[in-house]
A = this chain, B = another copy of it.
Amino acid sequence: MSKPFIALDWGTSSFRAYAVDGDGKVVNQVSAPEGILAVKEQKFEETLESHIGNWDKKLPVIASGMITSRQGWVECAYAECPAGATQLAKSLHVHKTTSGRQVHFITGMHFKSPSIHHDVIRGEETQVVGSLASGARHFVTPGTHSKWIEVEGKSVVSFATYMTGESFALYRQQSILGRLMTGDVADAAAFKRGVEQAFADPAGLLHALFSVRTLGLFKDVAAESLSSYLSGLLIGTEVAHATMGHDRSADYQILGSASLAEAYVTAMKLAGLKVTTGDPLCVISGQREIAHAAGVI
């Protein structure tokens, strides 16, 4: 039990707000394709009020996501890894809007990565904090930049970013590989073939990408299924690398949109991993936990 609040999940490409009651139940919600990159001239407050102007201004707003990045409303320094709800609660940044709302921004996290020196997340840490009650300790948040996040106790201890979603969009839309594609049928067999190609040779991505073209040229994969094969190739390469040398008996939980989560579940099961999907609204639970730890709600 805590106090009611407004949950704000504001990312690069979408805006989502939820009115949440004392039991953590969503009583009102609004979403729009107004991610931070669509907001002009720093008009973040105006955009917020255009969506929730008639919601109680006395309720605290708890915000997470790319809204705290350099391109966002208020840039917040990263919290250092390891950190959980307690540390994130201490790093909350409070901003009073001209309309009188108190917005509490949850900062992102920085990890001194042994593989790439620096790695960062903004928003996914809150989803993970909101998913700990499930018992899972290994999380994947698929997307433009997928994150593989490890938890010990109640703290995020490490994570790794993969540019898989952005790479798919680039090769699909901007490269020679898109030229042979006619439409994007979700072809499970072509997806699986891509995943297995990646598993057989995970260091060969730059080479295997060319097979998206040649399998099309030689009609081994239908033109409308080539994008499924490409997707499998990229996601398979990510899964192969992210689980290299890791405990194969671990339970993984996928957080995020249903269609993308399904693709990851398929690929990870092909790798022999144990995997489930998490709560799509875990970000609200995470915000509630962090704000409660901070005494805000």
Contact = CB atoms under 8 A, between A and B. Distances in A.
Q: Chain A interface mostly helix, strand, loop or mixed?
A: helix
Interface stretch (A56-64, A117-125, A135-143, A251-259): A117-125
A201 to B, nearest CB: 6
A207 B174 contact: no
A214 B116 contact: yes
A179 to B, nearest CB: 9
A35 B214 CA distance: 22
Contacts of A210: 116, 119, 145, 161-163
Interface string A203-225: 11111111100110110100000
A195 to B, nearest CB: 14
Contacts of A215: 116-118
A171 interface: yes
Among A205, A207, A209, A214, find the residue whose CB has the most chain B CB atoms closer than 10 A.
A207
A238 B176 CA distance: 19
Given A120-B217, A170-B171, A174-B170, A115 B207 contact: yes
A45 interface: no
A203 B203 contact: yes
A245 to B, nearest CB: 11
Among A118, A120, A206, A218, find the residue whose CB has the most chain B CB atoms closer than 10 A.
A206
A120 B216 CA distance: 12
A163 B209 contact: yes
A166 interface: yes
A220 to B, nearest CB: 6
Contact of A220 (B117, B160, B205): B117
A241 interface: yes
A201 B115 contact: yes
Closest 6 CB pairs of A and B: A116-B211, A118-B214, A202-B203, A203-B203, A161-B210, A162-B206
Interface of A: 115-120, 145, 160-164, 166-167, 170-171, 174-176, 197, 201-211, 214-215, 217-218, 220, 234, 237-238, 240-242, 244
Given A203-B237, A206-B238, 15 more contacts: A115-B207, A116-B197, A116-B208, A116-B215, A117-B211, A118-B214, A118-B215, A162-B210, A163-B207, A166-B176, A170-B170, A174-B174, A205-B237, A207-B238, A207-B241
18 contacts: A115-B201, A116-B211, A117-B218, A118-B214, A118-B217, A118-B218, A120-B214, A120-B217, A160-B207, A163-B206, A163-B209, A166-B176, A167-B206, A174-B174, A203-B240, A205-B205, A206-B237, A207-B242
